[in-house]
Structure 1
Amino acid sequence: MKDFNVKINYLWVLFFIFLPLLNVRIPLLVFNISISMLILIAIFTWNVLKNRFVINFPRHSLLAIIFIYLAWTVTGSLYSLNQTLAFKKIIELIFGVFIFITTYNYFIKDKFEQLKKYYIIMFITSGLFLGFLLYKYLFIFDVDYLGLNYQYPTQGGKNSLAFFLAFIIPVLFSLLLTDIKSRKLKILILPFTIINLLALFFVSSRGAWLAVGVTLLINIIIAGKKGLKIIILILIIISSFILFSPDYQRDRLLNLFSSEDEIAQGSSLSLRKGLLNLSVELVSEKPFLGWGTGSFSTLSKENGYGGLTSHNDFALVAVENGIIGLILFILFIGTLIFLSIKYLKFYYNDWEKKGLLNSILAITLYLFFINAVDSIFLWLNIGLLFALITLRKRQIG
């Protein structure tokens, strides 16, 4: 058994090494599967065989909400306008449940302390990967933005990168802002934090900035007088970018939330507003059941938006699965936010647990600006949250 645990631990180390490598993917049928997902499949299979097909499920009302939401999404595929996309979305959500079950079953077995080590590994990998991308885009390609492709400059995949940054930066902040014995660890992680912040800056995602910013604000409220550290950190970050950035990047930062571009045809903000207005119109036509899972792209193409998706998971669910689906989705995401804030008070001095809860807050808030409910980062965090709640219940008897 000890040998088995050591080998599973090595697989989890590999998983967190490859987790930030968003562009390392393998094509499989209509999907592109990441290396980290393949490693997770290996962990799940090995674990299930070793434990004679015994799988643990958390006892929590959130689990029921998740499965009812998934069942409603599957029902929506029966009358979808695009059966291929519906099938793809359902498989991706099933993968999501698989991720959280695999994560939960490992971390409830007195393995939660390992999360510190896994996070540190992920910090280093992400810092090296993002540092390489920053070098390629800013110095080799000579452009003023950041993308995922390292062979040629493109903004393709920018949203995936921004979602990852919203996932990891709150954990990095939690480590730096928590009083821990090892100052060497903070010094080690500081350069990787700066690299992640630079990546967020050059990705220029309003949604990611808002998600991280609101998460820090919630921490300030919970921390009370201790929140001064967070305020100082925010001021240092903003001041540094304004003082040391080139003119065009300084203007970009200062105008990040400006509405001046709103009237410009094709601007990001005007496009999102147009898609939101379209969503309202489509919901009014089929309010209860929606148009069917995976139908939004077909509808946006018919209405002059070139097959684009909604850039907002709440709008997407409302259009495709109706008001019933939207209520289930709000219960799902709302419960995640509630539980994160609730347990943040208990674990405010444990950086890895606080980091997890802050990460959940940031990425769930980001769903207002992106379509990422099927993301590995969301479902990984759900599995870790369930494990944390289960361990908390064991501690209090």
Structure 2
Amino acid sequence: MNFNTTTLAQRVQLRAHEYETFITVLLVVSIYFSTTIAIVVSALLGVVWLLSTQFIELPGTLKRNPVAAWALLLLAWFILGSCYTSVTNSDAFSMIMKYRELLFIPVLISFLTTERYRSWVWKAFFIASVLALLFSYLMYFDILDLNNQGDASFKGRITHSVFISFFAFFCAHKAYDNQRYTKLYLALFILSLHNLFFVVPGRTGQLIVVALVLLFAMQRFGNKERLLSVVAVALLMTLFFNFSDKASRINEGIANTQAYLKPVPEQTESSMGLRFTFWKYSLKLIAEKPLFGHGTGSFSKEYKRLVPDVRFKSTNPHNEFFMIGVQLGLAGLFIYLGFLVSQFYTAKKLPDKEKWLAQGLLLSLIITSLFNSPILDHTEGHWFATMIALCFSTLQARNTSVTSHA
């Protein structure tokens, strides 16, 4: 009986290992196109992680990979924050579930220790990005009637622009490496830029891609080429601002910011004006309980208490730092900053290609965190968690290899 039980357990474990990469690939693609499928696949991910007994390796993963450790620490602090929150247990649990993708980082890292498996997931990222770009243009030219968001994208404007801005950065590196498909990657890079500025003009994505282009220049060029890159970007952006009607959202954002900074703020009901209002009151909420915050899931309730005016109601300050700070205080902010800083320093230990992409991903996450709540938001949170795991799993693989040869 023991022999049969052991054999069955081993078979289940081996079969679960076989499906790890397939489910990860499916997760990457589903993130781009279907929230429902992504939820189902992420649940399968957890089941496979348990059945494959990869959870046994979790302490070792956290020890070897600081990024995974900080991610799990942030999730643990959200759980701790539910012990002193001002809202119901149900509301606190709901917020914890929104940050559950932080657990995916160590989980996926343990799945992607093999170069072959990482290659499959990068290919899934490439295919999903190309499809997102293709469908965006098909919707833009009214060939496909799938535009339910008001923008030519499956997801919202912000989400799409974050995805495509990083894809442009990815394609730039691939094109520069003089590989077999250099022309293809260069064409995709140009299409991505056109899509970001003329098809789905998300300001967050536009800011990210400009920053990523400059980062690319710092990573791959010498000083003279870097200077030329800065001049080129400045010239192109000047032309865009002054001669393209597609620059209206950026000009509107600048005008809203200038109006809000006046002694008597104007246009507070604009997109940027509302954001500034959210941030102002978020700071006041943090000042009320600066050390540990108001507790997990408390933002909506505490904000409504402080700001009863329905014109400025909010369940999300559109800033990850403020979202965490209100709930978990400076302690939570320290952990989130630790999570970001760990990516900066750990990226330096990666091979060049993974290091460059990890640096670009970190820059994307920081910029997105300033104007949105990417870890809180389902699609962006799952995407960032998956891509972070994909970039930093190389470190896990190297450390595992060193340990096995010691």
Matches within 5 A, 1:76-225: 76-83=81-88, 84-97=90-103, 99-108=104-113, 111-137=114-140, 139=142, 150-151=147-148, 153=150, 157-177=156-176, 179-182=177-180, 184=181, 186-201=182-197, 202-225=199-222
| CA drift at 1:209 | 3.0
- Quickly say closer, same or farther: Cα 1:360–1:90, change in 2 above 3 A: same
The answer to whether residue 72 in structure 2 is matched with residue 70 in structure 1 is no
Q: Give the residue type in structure 2 aligned to 1:17.
A: V
Work out the CA distance in 2 between the residues paired with 1:86 and 1:232: 47
Partner-residue secondary structure (3-state), 1:65: helix
- Answer whether contact 1:289 1:323 (CA < 8 A) is retained: yes
Unaligned runs of 5+ in 2: 1-10, 261-265
Work out the CA distance in 1 between the residues paired with 2:119 and 2:225: 25
Query: Which has more helix, going by share of residues?
Result: 2
Partner-residue secondary structure (3-state), 1:272: helix
Work out the CA distance in 2 between the residues paired with 1:100 and 1:291: 27
Q: Which of 391, 395, 406 is 1:389 aligned to?
A: 395
Work out the CA distance in 2 between the residues paired with 1:219 and 1:119: 19
The answer to whether residue 35 in structure 2 is matched with residue 25 in structure 1 is yes
| CA drift at 1:279 | 1.4
Work out the CA distance in 2 between the residues paired with 1:387 and 1:337: 15
Q: Compare 7-16 and 329-338 and name the one that shifted more.
A: 7-16
- Quickly say closer, same or farther: Cα 1:17–1:66, change in 2 above 3 A: closer
- Quickly say closer, same or farther: Cα 1:339–1:366, change in 2 above 3 A: farther
Matches within 5 A, 1:283-322: 283-302=286-305, 303=307, 304=309, 305-322=312-329
- Answer whether contact 1:126 1:196 (CA < 8 A) is retained: no
Q: Compare 204-213 and 225-234 and name the one that shifted more.
A: 225-234
User: TM-score, normalising length from structure 2?
Assistant: 0.75
What is residue 378 of structure 1 aligned with on the other side? 384
Partner-residue secondary structure (3-state), 2:115: coil
Partner-residue secondary structure (3-state), 2:313: coil
- Answer whether contact 2:292 2:330 (CA < 8 A) is retained: yes
Q: Give the residue type in structure 2 aligned to 1:196.
A: S
Unaligned runs of 5+ in 1: 27-34, 143-148
Q: Which of 343, 351, 357 is 1:347 aligned to?
A: 351
Q: Compare 380-389 and 305-314 and name the one that shifted more.
A: 380-389
- Answer whether contact 1:131 1:195 (CA < 8 A) is retained: no
Q: Give the residue type in structure 1 aligned to 2:222.
A: K
**Number of aligned residue pairs:** 370
CA-to-aligned-CA distance 1:141-164 (integer Å, 9 cap, x gap): 99xxxxxx7246369833333333
| CA drift at 1:232 | 4.7
Q: Give the residue type in structure 2 aligned to 1:347.
A: P
Partner-residue secondary structure (3-state), 1:79: coil
Q: Compare 370-379 and 61-70 and name the one that shifted more.
A: 61-70
Work out the CA distance in 2 between the residues paired with 1:280 and 1:195: 40
Partner-residue secondary structure (3-state), 2:290: coil
| CA drift at 1:391 | 2.9
Q: Which of 14, 28, 31 is 1:16 aligned to?
A: 28
- Quickly say closer, same or farther: Cα 1:245–1:257, change in 2 above 3 A: closer
